Amino acid sequence: MRSTLAPSNLGASSLSAPIGLSTVPDTDDTADAELLARAAVALTGHRHVLADLGARFQLAGHELYLVGGTVRDALLGRLGGDLDFTTSARPDEVQRILQPWADAMWDTGIAFGTVGAARHGHQVEITTYRADSYDQVSRNPTVAFGDTLAGDLVRRDFTVNAMAVRITADGPGEFVDPLNGLAALRERVLDTPSAPQVSFGDDPLRMLRAARFVSQLGFALAPRVRTAIEEMAPQLSRITAERIAAELDKLMLGADPAAGIEVMVSTGLGEQILPEVGGMRMAIDEHHQHKDVYQHSLTVLRQAIDLEDDGPDLVLRWAALLHDIGKPATRRHEPGGGVSFHHHEVVGAKLTRKRMRALKYSKQMVDDVSQLVYLHLRFHGYGDGRWTDSAVRRYVTDAGPLLARLHKLVRADCTTRNKRRAARLQATYDELEHRIAELAAKEDLARVRPDLDGNAIMELLGISAGPEVGRAWRHLKELRMERGPLDPDEARAELLDWWNREGSAGV
């Protein structure tokens, strides 16, 4: 389909005759007109930069089109500041055209025909038409530049990403949709330009990208796409851990990551990269009834997202999804029909660490998520609020900078349908947070340290640096946890008493 986008005219008349509008348009045409009008509005904010680039490429004798996610997001009314283009110009020619225009340029993707540039807050990536071929073994194509827009669009991952808008000196113009991407977007369906078996065979990462788009855009999989993923899920083994982790993070940061996880688990993708998540699915039988841990975890994920107060929090979302992955390994059927999961937080933290390391996450990310998984159950020992000040200090100290996230995770983990019990749990946690605030007003809970540092310990005990200093430091730290801040004289007296009783025995 080829139509005209006219930013100055945002009604149905902004579509040209080929779309088939009549005096009384049918439902699909009306919906398409609304989508194109929305795109026109979105692109108006970029009109100056689009017209400027269009003029430069036009003068050089080359075609220039907005393409891919940029067009899709403009149609959805969610266009950001980054713009993706495709062009008939080869990369060196693109660089020559951009040189006098750009404030900055980069060529990190030039091997794949992509040149990046920025000007006045606008960031653009311009890629030469591609006509790549794949060997169906690796995911890396044999890069080949193409000569036509149609050839470039047909090699893209999904039809909703295979639409284009021509850019000229007048700004956005002709809307090009040879693969019916607009209809797929209207129906909110993910389908592939070619047979999905061919598309996923070319690049298996596209299967995981489908789950990511379910999370980000709220789309559903076309039946043939779902079938192909179910058949081809094991081919994800061709993809590096780093690339998989990057896609997983995009999925987790989407508007509905639980929906993306559901696609992964139901199609078999999850078994390839996050088997522990699908492993939380537990059959409920008439003798040992218990919550399905998998569905509970998705609920906790959704509830954690509802508690975010400063944008998406990747650490919190991962912790919410994985907080109970230790349950299957620790499940025990108790006499009388009960089910227990003793120490599942300890096992879960180990499993989290192992899986995230396998996916090549950073040490900080692994540490943070696994520590939240380890700590998420500790609150339930608070009971009726009889924790000592020492226990509250330990809770805060062990959480460290993760405390705010731990608060959200624990609250999100309350999924009981018993309203009275849910209210009681939330009230109890309110009380714990109040206790933390009261102690924090009296002492620096964020930096619980011994009242004497290493130098003071060595001077008082007359010892040099070594293991005994560490033992003394840990004793004072334990004392600080139990009793709160001590004045210097009291701390010195306690240290000398400990040293005389047992510390000096190790020298």
Q: Where are the domains of the chain?
A: 2-186, 195-273, 293-446, 449-506
Q: Which residue has the higher pLDDT, 396 or 123?
A: 123
Beta pairing class for 339-340 and 332-333: antiparallel
Alpha-carbon distance of 335 to 321, in angstroms, equals: 30
Residue type, 278: G
Phi-psi group of 292: left, alpha or beta (phi > 0 → left; psi -120 to 50 → alpha; rest → beta): beta
Report the SS3 class of residue 116. Answer: strand
Cβ-Cβ contacts under 8 Å for 6 (sequence gap 6 or more): 14, 40
Cβ-Cβ contacts under 8 Å for 107 (sequence gap 6 or more): 91, 95, 115, 116
Phi-psi group of 77: left, alpha or beta (phi > 0 → left; psi -120 to 50 → alpha; rest → beta): left
pLDDT value of position 393: 84
Q: Which CATH number fits domain 2-186: 3.90.1010.10, 3.30.70.360, 3.20.20.120, 3.30.460.10?
A: 3.30.460.10
Give me the mean pLDDT over the 434-457 stretch: 72
What is the CATH architecture of 195-273? Answer: Orthogonal Bundle (1.10)
pLDDT value of position 409: 96
Give me the mean pLDDT over the 460-483 stretch: 77
Alpha-carbon distance of 211 to 197, in angstroms, equals: 16
Q: Which residue has the higher pLDDT, 478 or 428?
A: 428
pLDDT value of position 388: 82
Cross-sheet strand order for the sheet of 164-168: 2-4, 171-176, 164-168, 64-67, 82-87, 122-128, 114-119, 104-106
Give the pLDDT confidence of 300-346 residue by residue, as tens digits: 999 999 999 989 999 999 999 999 999 998 888 888 777 788 889 99
* DSSP secondary structure code for residue 179 in this structure: T
